[in-house]
Amino acid sequence: MATKQRVHSEWRRDFSGAIGAVSGAVGWVGSIASDLHLPDGQAYAMQVCLEELMANVAMHGRALATQSDQGESAEPLKVSVSVDVTTDRITLTVEDNGRPFDISRAQPRSVEGGLDSVRPGGLGIGVIRSFADNLKYSRTETGNCVKAEFLR
């Protein structure tokens, strides 16, 4: 039985990097949160951060081209999601094989000019920073790795 008393639990699943895969991944994380009886706010935070991270990969992460015997070709965009639960925190890790993008340093889209000048889009970065307690980025050999931490 998965409960808060467990010292350490981990789940991992691979998804396509397509926009159509986002809802399934978010639903999967939601079911983990439900099984763990996490508070609504924490379950929401994990889901909204995953939604924004995966949407960002799907819309902007175009996979890197790789060399092979048949010449240069682009790998399909892929995303691996893992949820690591310990007594004091939950870590949501999202790894992709897309272009380099350090979301921890990205600037949220400003809406300071009001409706006159606002351009819809780019709003997810502020959401991630608001709901995650910590956000860490690292470049990997094959792409990007983002860790969003939620303190318990």
Partner 1 sequence: MQLTTADIGNEITKISLSGRLDIDGALKIDDEFMDIVKQKKFLAVDLSEVSFLASLGMRTLVSGAKASWENNGKLVLLKPQENVEKALRAAAIDTIIPIVRDMGEAERVFGL
Length of the chain: 152
Our CB check for partner 1 shows the closer of 64 and 152 to be 152
Q: By CB under 8 A, which span of 5-13, 69-77, 117-125, 134-142 interacts with partner 1?
A: 117-125
Helix (H, G, I), strand (E, B) or coil at 16: strand
Residue 124 near partner 1 by CB under 8 A: yes
CB of 16 to partner 1, least distance (A): 14
Report phi then psi at 14, rounded to 5. Answer: -100, 145
Report phi then psi at 34, rounded to 5. Answer: -65, -45
Tokens read off for 140: 């990997």
d(CA 25, CA 93): 12
Query: Amino acid identity of 61?
Result: G
Instruction: Find the binding residues for partner 1 in span 32-51 (CB under 8 A).
Output: 40-41, 44-45, 47-48, 51
Half-sphere exposure of 105 (CA within 13 A, CB side): 6
Our CB check for partner 1 shows the closer of 34 and 64 to be 34
Residue 88 near partner 1 by CB under 8 A: no
Helix (H, G, I), strand (E, B) or coil at 101: coil
Judged by CB under 8 A, which of 2, 65, 74, 118 binds partner 1? Answer: 118
Q: Which stretches of the chain bind partner 1, using CB under 8 A?
A: 19, 22-23, 26, 40-41, 44-45, 47-48, 51-52, 55, 108, 110-112, 114-116, 118, 120-124, 126-127, 129-131
